[in-house]
Amino acid sequence: MSIEPLNEEERAEALDALDEWDFDEARDAITRTFTFADFSAAFGFMTRVALLAEKMDHHPEWSNVWNRVDVLLTTHEAGGLSHRDVDMAGAMDALVD
């Protein structure tokens, strides 16, 4: 099953809705930095996201330094942003907001 990238209109709508996320034009991706009280809280968040990622079969590119988690979402199979990224971003937001 191939995954279609978002079209222009869908992308604009998604970026408008995901107001905590930035658009990375070079990667056709969205990025967000999450900051927590300490490493334990940051890694707790990562663990919850890891479970989501396996369930949704969609995995972030991410890095962690102490209390900070930098996330980039894009869909390799689609060659750019897809609904999977929008869904995952919303699910990640729901864990912290």
Active site residue 83: no
Residue 12 identity: A
**Contact criterion met (CB below 8 Å) for 42 and 66:** yes
Start-to-end C-alpha separation, the chain:
33
Q: Residue 22 CB, nearest distance to a second copy (Å)? A: 18
**What is the DSSP-derived secondary structure letter of residue 80?**
B
Residues 32-71 that bind a second copy (CB under 8 A): 39-40, 43, 46-47, 50, 53-54, 59, 61-66
Q: Residue 25 CB, nearest distance to a second copy (Å)? A: 20
Q: Residue 29 CB, nearest distance to a second copy (Å)? A: 12
**What is the DSSP-derived secondary structure letter of residue 5?**
P
**Contact criterion met (CB below 8 Å) for 30 and 24:** yes
Reading the block at residue 7, the tokens are: 């079209």
Active site residue 85: yes
Q: Does 88 bind a second copy (CB under 8 A)?
A: no
Q: Which residues are catalytic?
A: 54, 58-59, 76-77, 85
Give the interface with a second copy as residue ranges (CB under 8 A).
39-40, 43, 46-47, 50, 53-54, 59, 61-66
